[in-house]
Chains A and B, each alone.
Chain A
Amino acid sequence: MKDHGRYQPFTYYQLMETSLRELLVEKGIVTDAQVSEEVAAMRARTPQRGAKVVAKAWLDPQYKKRLLANGTAACEELGLEIPGLRLVAVENTPQVHNAIVCTLCSCYPRVLLGIPPDWYKSRNYRSRMVREPRAVLAEFGLSIPDAVQIRVHDSTADMRYLVLPMRPKGTEGWDEARLAGIVSRDAMIGVAVPTVK
């Protein structure tokens, strides 16, 4: 028997997206090609962009200063295109661990880290990360000692956040590309820390 696939009716939001997109195309506001290009560009952005910024900051203390002062300018300096992004970089230290959440919706530095993971948008993460961050981090396998302050950043308005993790021991002499290789998406959200295998 020939497989014709399985028909599934559109969900509410799929229907909304398709209707709006078709109307915009019909009225000549955007073209199908522009929509496809934008989707392709969004899929092409990966956390490697953010990892490059982190690795550069690990290697160059002056760059790190500029990154903390103005994350947007620091990204542009590396040739990263980040239209509209106002980036606040927050630095982990032996005394402070930072983690990012958006309780109101799912604000995320997409142009730097790509499409957010589903858990970041979940009600569970969004409601609990501000209320019991230590318990949530433990579920990610990250145990933060009580002597270390946890700073949770609720991304509620025009800023977007990047955690600048601590450079782990055992990476002495590594070049930028090798360092970038150990900087994960989760480490830049603050639910993990970079490690050396």
Chain B
Amino acid sequence: MQPQFATEYPAVAPQFKVGERVRVRMTAPLGHIRTPFYIRGHVGEIERLCGSFPNPEELAQMRDGLPAVPLYRVRFRQKEVWPDYRGPDSDVIEIEIFQHWLEKA
């Protein structure tokens, strides 16, 4: 699968395909985390592979963040994220999530 943006870093191999259903890991480590709390534990589908980027959790600790981690855009149904969501079933939210935060759903 071609990423939208090619990067030169040594990187972990992408594990998920477009359209595949994934769950965001439900965990709460300390540190600089780019996975919002509200989406943890929810199931969505891979919308695209953005590319592979240094892990921000490592960068925040002054390390190089390598090997780079595949970054995906994941699409979630609003009604799945917020059971009391006010709007049609078709509304969605899309979020960039690093591979190590995702597992097969």
Which positions in A face B, CB cutoff 8 Å? 69-70, 72, 86, 88, 103-104, 130-135, 146-147, 149-159
Which positions in B face A, CB cutoff 8 Å? 4-5, 34-36, 38-39, 50-51, 53, 56, 71, 73, 78, 82, 85-88, 90-98
A-B contact pairs, 22 of them (CB 8 A): A69-B4, A72-B5, A132-B87, A133-B91, A134-B87, A147-B88, A150-B78, A151-B93, A151-B94, A152-B78, A152-B91, A152-B92, A153-B94, A154-B39, A154-B93, A154-B95, A154-B96, A156-B36, A156-B96, A157-B34, A158-B50, A159-B50
Q: Most chain-B Cβ atoms within 10 A of its Cβ — which of A72, A86, A155, A156?
A: A156
Residues of A within 8 A of B94 (CB): 151-154
In-complex Cβ contact of A157 among B86, B91, B98 (8 A): B98
Asked if A156 and B95 make an inter-chain contact with CB atoms under 8 angstroms apart, the answer reads yes
Residues of A within 8 A of B90 (CB): 149
> Residue on A with the closest CB to B88?
A146
Residues of B within 8 A of A158 (CB): 50-51, 53, 71, 96
B103 to chain A, nearest CB (A): 18
Asked if A130 and B5 make an inter-chain contact with CB atoms under 8 angstroms apart, the answer reads no
Asked if A134 and B86 make an inter-chain contact with CB atoms under 8 angstroms apart, the answer reads yes
Q: Most chain-B Cβ atoms within 10 A of its Cβ — which of A72, A134, A147?
A: A134
Residues of A within 8 A of B78 (CB): 150, 152
Asked if A146 and B87 make an inter-chain contact with CB atoms under 8 angstroms apart, the answer reads yes
Residues of B within 8 A of A132 (CB): 85-87
> Residue on A with the closest CB to B6?
A70
Asked if A130 and B35 make an inter-chain contact with CB atoms under 8 angstroms apart, the answer reads no
Q: Most chain-A Cβ atoms within 10 A of its Cβ — which of B38, B50, B90?
A: B90
Asked if B34 and A156 make an inter-chain contact with CB atoms under 8 angstroms apart, the answer reads yes
> Residue on A with the closest CB to B92?
A151
New A-B contacts (4) at CB < 8 Å, excluding given A70-B4, A130-B38, A156-B97: A151-B92, A152-B78, A152-B94, A159-B71
Quick one: given A70-B5, A157-B53, A157-B56, are A150 and B87 in contact (CB under 8 Å)?
Answer: yes
> Residue on A with the closest CB to B98?
A157
Asked if A157 and B5 make an inter-chain contact with CB atoms under 8 angstroms apart, the answer reads no
In-complex Cβ contact of B36 among A104, A134, A147, A150 (8 A): A104
Compute how far the CA of A146 lies from the CA of B87 in the bound complex, rounded to whole angstroms. Answer: 7
